[in-house]
Amino acid sequence: MLHKWSIDTTSVSRYYEPFYSTSANGATQQRTSDNVVHLAPDSALTAFAQLGVIRLQARRSFVTFFDRTTQYVFAEATRSLSLQTGAVDDHLDALLRGSVALPRSSTYCEHVAGATIHLQPSDLADGPPVTVIPDLTESPLFRHTVAHFPQPQPRFYCGVPIMSPEGFAIGVYCVLDDTPRAGLEPWQITMLKDMVSSTTF
């Protein structure tokens, strides 16, 4: 039986290539011999991630999914990222992760997924909840993690869980920026909910 917060391995192998496991020390990334992080293999998912960056005028976005122990980054996008070549106009838009597998317990997105565990179906009538962290450096849960990121370090984070038809969080769509924000406008929250409601796995 699948963990209730997990996507099945068929979907993982379909969208996440190559399939890498993780070590206790961190992630194994999709790299060539020149040690460059490359685009995810599915350009449609990268475009899906990039839409959130553009709409929210942020730095980067990720589409991620979970199995029992691991978070898989299916897509990462930034503002000036080329969907075909991975080239960027701004060096700060270079990919940070690419296709990567991370221990679930080490990620912001695990917190977003965990927030749904006690929700009832009626709580999801207006879509899954959007988690907003205005400034990661002021968050008791995450301020110690920011220093582990290269520049530009993330300050603002928002994420919305991707729900299975059964109502379980199987992934997260998230957007990050390197400038703190007071929060999100109502239309931005609606947009994020609309984005995840359009995913089917």
pLDDT one-digit tens code per residue, 140-182:
877 777 767 777 888 999 999 998 887 788 889 999 999 999 9
Q: Which residues contact 98 (CB under 8 A, 6 or more apart)?
A: 29, 30, 31, 37, 38, 39, 40, 73, 76
Greater confidence, 60 or 9? 60
Task: Decide which of 20 and 117 is more confident.
Answer: 117
Does a structural domain hold residue 2?
Answer: no
Copy the structure tokens of residue 98. 């690419």
pLDDT digits over 38-50, tens only?
Answer: 777 888 989 999 9
The CATH number of the domain holding residue 160 is: 3.30.450.40
Alpha-carbon distance of 32 to 38, in angstroms, equals 8
Q: Is residue 3 in some structural domain?
A: no
Q: What one-letter code names the amino acid at 193?
A: K
pTM: 0.80
Q: What letters, b where the CB count within 10 A reaches 16 and e where it falls short, cover 29-38?
A: bbeeeeeebe
Rounded mean pLDDT of 191-200?
85
Q: How many domains does the chain have?
A: 1
Cβ 40 vs Cβ 46: under 8 Å: yes
Asked if the structure places residue 113 within a domain, the reply is yes
The two counts, helices (H) then strands (E), for the chain are 4, 7
Say what the pLDDT of residue 25 is: 43
- 1 domain-assigned: no
CA separation for the pair 96, 158 (Å, rounded): 17
- What is the C-alpha separation between 201 and 75, in angstroms, rounded? 15
Per residue in 121-140, pLDDT (tens digit) is 777 778 888 999 999 989 88
Q: Select from 151, 158, 161, 193 the least CA-distant residue to 176.
A: 158
- The answer to whether residues 40 and 98 touch, using CB atoms and an 8 Å cutoff, is yes
Q: What confidence tier does 198 reach under pLDDT thresholds 50, 70, 90?
A: confident
Residue 172 lies in a domain: yes
Q: Residue 23: inside a domain, yes or no?
A: yes
Domain carrying residue 152? 9-197
Does residue 178 form part of some domain?
Answer: yes
Question: How many Cα atoms within 13 Å fall on the side-chain side of residue 32?
Answer: 4
